[in-house]
Chain A
């Protein structure tokens, strides 16, 4: 994506702009960039470096920070809750790159035809995405409520005598939250795929049909490869969304019962702002950042490489 503006500039060169003017106004783009760059330095790079620094201190939010070397990290890697959070983050990532992607693609394929009411159905599926996550957490929290919630009321009505405790059950809590998150994510993925399908030339599909492909073969060998740039975007967005999952966890269980549904972002918040261990919280943030940065790096590397091939 970042490479696209460069291409017209390169193409413009053969038009023989005066090279003298170019070299004199070399600074003009930087004037335009100055403000966004200053903001970027101030609000993104600055805090990032500061977090790295804080993770090496024992800052409690009030006293002056004191450097303690890598003690926060040593402690973190020996913290049982940290490994629970990592495992839960892995559950989030795996769930997010499978369920919403498959469901969203299936919905997009179905709704891409001109069936009556398609617009209404599309809006209905997209609507969870425009609701604030906190509200979704509350709504699903009520549905999961063991005594009078929707799920258990239905289960009891059909004769289940001992319905699960959902969010109160340490083995189920994380999956319950992920289910709510997937419900929110599906409509968004569907919209991305619908946009992607607009770019698929229908004559290609027609041609494959003429050549005797059945609908599955047409999908598998024509549409799916053409959608691969969208899939890359979807997968990367899903991974990043799943890694920063915090709001639903915080609203629905606060990481409980007994840390069983904790994720890194939630653990970081509780350590930093509840237990007043800013240094320790910063160390968790740094680990989370490195994991996210790894995925973003893979993404950029893939996209840049493929775009340069054009």
Chain B
């Protein structure tokens, strides 16, 4: 009996010890120490400053310089940066940017972790609602960012915008994308264009010219098909590449204004205008211009078909070039999605990427310093040079950019309206249902009426809850 008792009490004690150990385990205590030290130092410095201000005013500016020197001697702040840049080329550039930032700010170390793109979209809610969120995160401008800003999850960085002078150096459109109720929450850093990419070698061999109108486009498809080349590839296993076709056809047929109202839930999916869009799409499918079994492939899986000259064209974002082998890059060029109705204003997809910080970021000062660096001329110039994405900061000199980037900028300048993309312009749930519907349509275009009726039912339900 007493043996039992002893054994049991030892067990209980052990378990309590383990429990205590588990409570004590998390590291933030150390981090907190460092943070308080930073605050103390800053206070001291500020006192000196105010004293100086009382004596003679003109010296203030030099004192400010001294303040930054003081901070560099302060213990290191370890901030966390979570990124979705998981494709090889952007991932490398992402790491380079962090390194460049750390060289400039030796008092801040950045714990940089990269999560696969699709997983990141799901994980971000857990990040933002946790008690220790990452300080800075990559994200998409527009509705996707607005969702979190409206819920108070995102750090107000209006002070960064004004101190960096971004209210002058960023175009109005990007300012609007980052502003909610007069305050800035987002740093848009780069954007890219969508276009029809094609293999020049294939076109040259068959004497084809990049088409400008729908008729010319159909002619190009027909010639490619007659010569045993798959006219258009797409990989719709993750449905978003199919959504690009919807975006462009709908904007070309019905104009960007109708398109964006549809995205916002103000127009109906069973509208005859939407059906007209699908009729153009059905024509391509029924004539067999798309690669067979597109749903079996991921978006990168079909690139070898293009490189090996078995296929001709791919409607994709500029990032498609990241996945084309270095030695084949010169073979590829792009043209604007063909014009269907010349009377309709031109809309283009140009998704904007950027960064924001969590509202309860553990290291808001470091986060702001990092955001300021990401939006700076220096960082944007580097990204533009390495990845050919377009910079948002007008201070970046674009005259030295390569011909492809120049052409991309021209393409967007000629547009009457810039959309973000189907899954960024509409709500996440609507995007999921819509893209599943595009997949269903792709496999059986004759079902279009049922598909659109179902989609309209979903739209009514989803936007009624908003």
The chain A residues found within 8 Å of chain B, CB to CB, are 21, 24-25, 28, 31-32, 34-35, 58, 61-63, 75, 80-81, 144-147, 165-170, 253-254, 256-259, 270, 273-277
Contact B437 A277 (CB under 8 A): no
Q: Which of B8, B129, B293, B296 contacts A28 (CB 8 A)?
A: B8
Can you list 26 pairs linking A and B with CB atoms under 8 Å apart?
A: A31-B8, A31-B11, A31-B12, A32-B8, A34-B12, A34-B15, A58-B465, A61-B129, A62-B153, A75-B461, A81-B436, A145-B296, A145-B297, A146-B292, A147-B292, A165-B293, A168-B292, A168-B443, A170-B444, A256-B237, A256-B239, A256-B436, A257-B442, A258-B442, A259-B436, A274-B121
Contact A276 B125 (CB under 8 A): yes
> For B126, what are the chain A residues with a Cβ–Cβ distance below 8 Å?
61
> For B293, what are the chain A residues with a Cβ–Cβ distance below 8 Å?
146-147, 165-166, 168-169
> For A169, what are the chain B residues with a Cβ–Cβ distance below 8 Å?
293, 443
Contact A254 B440 (CB under 8 A): no
> For A270, what are the chain B residues with a Cβ–Cβ distance below 8 Å?
432
Contact B12 A258 (CB under 8 A): no
Minimal beta-carbon separation of A81 from chain B (angstroms): 8
Given contacts A61-B125, A63-B151, contact A254 B454 (CB under 8 A): no
The chain B residues found within 8 Å of chain A, CB to CB, are 1, 4, 8, 11-12, 15, 121-122, 125-126, 128-129, 147-148, 151, 153, 236-239, 292-297, 301, 305, 428-429, 432, 436-437, 439-440, 442-444, 454, 461, 465
In the complex, the chain A residue whose C-beta lies closest to that of B291 is A147
In the complex, the chain A residue whose C-beta lies closest to that of B296 is A168
Top 9 nearest A-B pairs by Cβ distance?
A: A258-B440, A168-B293, A165-B293, A168-B296, A257-B295, A146-B293, A275-B429, A168-B295, A258-B439
Contact A258 B443 (CB under 8 A): yes
Contact B296 A275 (CB under 8 A): no
When chains A and B are docked, how far (Å) is the Cα of A91 from the Cα of B147?
A: 39
Minimal beta-carbon separation of B117 from chain A (angstroms): 13
> For B4, what are the chain A residues with a Cβ–Cβ distance below 8 Å?
25, 28
Contact A170 B121 (CB under 8 A): no
In the complex, the chain A residue whose C-beta lies closest to that of B119 is A273
Q: Beyond the given A62-B148, A145-B301, A276-B429, could you list 15 further A-B residue pairs with CB under 8 A, ordered by the A residue number? A: A31-B8, A31-B11, A61-B125, A62-B153, A146-B293, A147-B292, A147-B293, A167-B296, A168-B443, A253-B295, A257-B439, A257-B440, A270-B432, A274-B122, A274-B428
> For A146, what are the chain B residues with a Cβ–Cβ distance below 8 Å?
292-293, 296
When chains A and B are docked, how far (Å) is the Cα of A144 from the Cα of B297?
A: 10
Contact B1 A21 (CB under 8 A): yes
Contact A32 B11 (CB under 8 A): yes
In the complex, the chain B residue whose C-beta lies closest to that of A280 is B429
Minimal beta-carbon separation of B287 from chain A (angstroms): 17
When chains A and B are docked, how far (Å) is the Cα of A273 from the Cα of B442?
A: 25
Contact B436 A258 (CB under 8 A): yes
Minimal beta-carbon separation of B349 from chain A (angstroms): 21
Q: Which of B1, B121, B129, B238 contacts A24 (CB 8 A)?
A: B1
> For B236, what are the chain A residues with a Cβ–Cβ distance below 8 Å?
257
> For A32, what are the chain B residues with a Cβ–Cβ distance below 8 Å?
8, 11
> For B147, what are the chain A residues with a Cβ–Cβ distance below 8 Å?
62
| Most chain A Cβ neighbours within 10 Å, of B122, B301, B461 | B122
> For B125, what are the chain A residues with a Cβ–Cβ distance below 8 Å?
61-62, 276
Contact A62 B129 (CB under 8 A): yes
Minimal beta-carbon separation of A87 from chain B (angstroms): 16
> For B12, what are the chain A residues with a Cβ–Cβ distance below 8 Å?
31, 34
In the complex, the chain B residue whose C-beta lies closest to that of A28 is B4
Contact B237 A254 (CB under 8 A): yes
